[in-house]
Amino acid sequence: MTHPIRIGLVGVGKIARDQHLPVIGTSPDYTLVAVASRHGGLDGVPNYRTLPEMLAGEGDLQAVGLCQPPQARFAAALAAIEAGLHVFLEKPPGATLAEVGILSEAARRRGVSLFASWHSRFAPGVEPALQWLSARRIRSVSIAWMEDVRHWHPGQDWIWESGGMGVFDPGINALSIATHILPPFFLTGATLEVPENRQAPIAADLRFTDSAGTPIHAVFDWRQTGPQTWDIRVETEDGTLVLSRGGAALTIDGRDQTLPPEADYRGLYDRFAALIRSGASDVDLNPLIHAADAFLRGERRSVAAFTD
Ligand code: NAP
């Protein structure tokens, strides 16, 4: 492996511009070689329309970051793996569980690194929360992930289509933190509110428990205007922990904890480079399993049509 890693980016949209390109541009571990996007583009590097065109044009690529919606990721990921490239998957890693399993096996056989990224796990409060909770008995957990879809996802039709996951697109970030800081848990019931003109839920109410019977309740809602809420509250025998602002802030018994600045995507790209160096992969399906279980086990309620 030459250093820096020669990387290409696929799907130049919101998250590619907001996070991937700035981080790749400032990390000593990477050189951006090219981008592939049907409508987006970037000055200063070769632009291709599709991943196969980029693979054909850039013979010395070593890695790709895939920033398309989940429904579009499998074919690109498989082609990149088969071409011998290390692959960084945006979250969620796919539109189905089975397709991600196939990618994992393909990466193992081809000897490349596959990274299913969960950016919220790299929020600064998450590791300190894990450390504090690991020594304590948990009594209950409540998760509130409530935001304004019109503000965060204007004009994104894929998010409302099958495989787009609706409110689970942000909600899976909460699940990625919860599965990291809590003992294993499972879904016991759910209600999914689906706009009558859409395929995916605008809100979800989820009940989980674990082998100790701990109640875990999550509410995801995309209809929240005004202040936005991304909170996980954990009651223990020893006090209350609250992760808020998506993991960027942490209080224990009401006392603010000092945290490093937010650098979630820098953390993701550092991790991807470390995986490549050590010849390993990191594909944790647990957040996607819980989302899939909600679609499998949840009751569906039709609610008012949603228009942008
Ligand atoms: P986006 O801007 O709507 O889409 C990203 C790019 O993917 C688009 O510019 C488009 O590029 C390509 N694309 C869109 N629909 C496609 C389709 N049906 N088939 C093939 N390519 C398609 O979405 P985004 O907000 O960046 O989100 C992309 C992924 O990142 C999602 O999985 C999301 O959960 C994750 N993510 C997003 C955010 C965020 O703040 N938005 C944060 C963290 C993670 P071309 O048309 O030019 O090919």
Q: What is the CATH number of the domain that holds 87?
A: 3.40.50.720
Q: Where are the beta strands (DSSP E) in 118-228?
A: 138-146, 185-195, 203-210, 216-221
Q: Are residues 146 and 39 in the same domain?
A: no
Which whole number is the average pLDDT over 132-152?
A: 97
Q: Are residues 296 and 161 in the same domain?
A: yes
Label residue 308 by pLDDT band (50, 70, 90).
confident
275 lies in some domain: no
> Total structural domains in the chain?
2
Question: What are 180's two structure tokens?
Answer: 């990291």
268 lies in some domain: no
**Atom number, ligand 1, closest to the C-alpha of residue 39:** 47
Instruction: Give the residue whose CA is nearest to atom 18 of ligand 1.
Output: 72
Choose the final residue of a domain: 62, 96, 116: 116
Q: Where are the beta strands (DSSP E) in the chain?
A: 5-10, 30-36, 47-48, 63-66, 86-89, 114-116, 138-146, 185-195, 203-210, 216-221, 229-236, 239-244, 249-252, 255-256, 299-303
Choose the final residue of a domain: 99, 116, 133: 116
- Catalytic (active-site) positions: 91
Q: Are residues 148 and 297 in the same domain?
A: yes
Report CA(223)–ligand 1 centroid distance (Å).
Answer: 21
Which whole number is the average pLDDT over 85-108?
A: 98
Q: Are residues 18 and 48 in the same domain?
A: yes
**Atom number, ligand 1, closest to the C-alpha of residue 172:** 34
269 lies in some domain: no
Q: Are residues 185 and 49 in the same domain?
A: no
Q: Are residues 172 and 124 in the same domain?
A: yes
Pocket probe mutation, ligand 1, options 15, 37, 150, 158, max atoms within 8 Å of Cβ:
15
Q: Are residues 142 and 211 in the same domain?
A: yes
308 lies in some domain: no
Choose the final residue of a domain: 63, 97, 116: 116
Q: Are residues 130 and 189 in the same domain?
A: yes
Q: Are residues 87 and 39 in the same domain?
A: yes
Range of the domain at 254: 120-260+292-303
Report CA(242)–ligand 1 centroid distance (Å).
Answer: 30
89 lies in some domain: yes
pLDDT digits (tens, 9 = 90+) for 23-66: 999 999 999 999 999 998 999 999 999 999 999 999 999 999 99
- Reported pTM: 0.98
pLDDT at 283: 98
Name the one residue in this structure whose structure tokens are 């996802």.
153
206 lies in some domain: yes
Report CA(175)–ligand 1 centroid distance (Å).
Answer: 20
256 lies in some domain: yes
pLDDT digits (tens, 9 = 90+) for 211-242: 999 999 999 999 999 999 999 999 999 999 99
Question: What are 17's two structure tokens?
Answer: 């511009």
Q: What is the mean pLDDT of the chain?
A: 97
Q: Are residues 218 and 101 in the same domain?
A: no
271 lies in some domain: no
Q: Are residues 171 and 297 in the same domain?
A: yes
Pocket probe mutation, ligand 1, options 68, 122, 176, max atoms within 8 Å of Cβ:
68
pLDDT digits (tens, 9 = 90+) for 161-211: 999 999 999 999 999 999 999 999 999 999 999 999 999 999 999 999 999
pLDDT at 1: 57
- CA of 230: how far to CAs of 3, 149, 264, 281, in Å? 38, 14, 16, 29
**Partners of 138 in beta bridges:** 236
CATH number of the domain that residue 130 is part of: 3.30.360.10
Q: Are residues 148 and 296 in the same domain?
A: yes
Distance CA 204, CA 271 (A): 31
Tell me phi and psi for residue 48, to 5 degrees: -120, 165
